[in-house]
A = this chain, B = another copy of it.
Amino acid sequence: MKDGALGIFDSGVGGLTVVRAVQELLPSENIVYLGDTARVPYGSKSPETIRRFADEDARHLLGRDVKAIVVACNTATAHALPFLQKQYHIPVIGVIEAGVEAVLADRTAMRIGIIATRGTIASHAYQHALALRRTGMMIVEQSTPLLVPLIEENWLDHPATTMILQSYLQPMLDKGIDTLLLACTHYPLLVPLLKKMIGADVRIVDSASTCALHLRNELERLDMLASQDRQGILRIGLTDLSDQFEILARQFLHKSPPRIERVEL
């Protein structure tokens, strides 16, 4: 069981930011990544459809004998995590719990801005999880549906990206947020631009690296960590292949991906 791979899935290649963080923290773990690029994005689709897609993704990974599943997609976590956890008998870990823990790790954090896809925002999953843990917080949510397309175009410091971010963020900056939670696994690529825009006083929490930490803690607790004496292997399967996805995969992983195979769900 300890030697089984970790299954990590996302609607597309954005979840590779989670893979990168997991590889850094847990280099001995084998990883099977599934990106549902044929049906990307999930963020603008309905809860029922997202749940159906997430279930098909999880089933595919179970067929590859994984020991645990990481839902590296905020939208799928928001709408499908409890469903998947009930359905399957291995640990299923999402990105939301981790992001919430990371926000609350700062005991003074009281004014939280959250940016995410339309689907994640509509679920109010973060707002709900935060409100359960700490009372009296001000939470401002903003759906930012144009960020994924801009990131997938690699317009990471284009003036249009700055302009669009400005119009998304200004209302929450005006409200004096102390923490900005990036509730989409694509968004870590915007951190350099965001830092320039929002200044040093606002702490940025991204759900990719916090998810890796949360995963390590869970595997430790369940005594499921792989033995440390090996180098983990990464396999990537996508439901649609294209040059563009390969370029993006490289960008999200910060290195050349292994050979990517096309998979059917």
Q: Which of B38, B159, B167 contacts A49 (CB 8 A)?
A: B38
Question: Chain B contacts of A239 at CB under 8 A?
Answer: 49
Judged by a CB distance under 8 angstroms, whether A200 is at the interface is no
Question: Chain B contacts of A45 at CB under 8 A?
Answer: 37-38, 240, 242
Judged by a CB distance under 8 angstroms, whether A174 is at the interface is no
Residue of B nearest to A118 (CB): B244
Judged by a CB distance under 8 angstroms, whether A90 is at the interface is no
Q: How far is the CA of A135 from the CA of B167 in the complex (A)?
A: 46
Question: Chain B contacts of A129 at CB under 8 A?
Answer: none
When all copies of this chain in the complex are counted, the total is 2
Q: State the majority secondary structure of interface residues on A.
A: loop
Query: Number of A interface residues, CB 8 Å?
Result: 27
Question: Chain B contacts of A44 at CB under 8 A?
Answer: 152, 242, 244
Judged by a CB distance under 8 angstroms, whether A260 is at the interface is no
Q: Which of B46, B150, B153, B160 contacts A240 (CB 8 A)?
A: B46
Residue of B nearest to A36 (CB): B39
Q: How far is the CA of A38 from the CA of B49 in the complex (A)?
A: 7
CB atoms of B145 and A149 under 8 A apart: yes
Residue of B nearest to A53 (CB): B38
Judged by a CB distance under 8 angstroms, whether A191 is at the interface is no
- A120-160 interface mask toward B, CB cutoff 8 Å, 1 = contact, 0 = none? 00000000000000000000000001100110110100111
Judged by a CB distance under 8 angstroms, whether A163 is at the interface is yes
How far, in Å, is A124 (CB) from chain B's closest CB? 15
Beyond known contacts A38-B39, A46-B241: 15 more, CB 8 A cutoff:
A37-B45, A38-B49, A38-B53, A44-B244, A45-B240, A45-B242, A46-B242, A49-B239, A145-B149, A145-B152, A145-B153, A146-B149, A149-B149, A158-B167, A160-B164
Footprint of B on A, CB under 8 Å? Answer: 37-39, 44-46, 49, 53, 118, 145-146, 149-150, 152-153, 155, 158-160, 163-164, 167, 239-242, 244
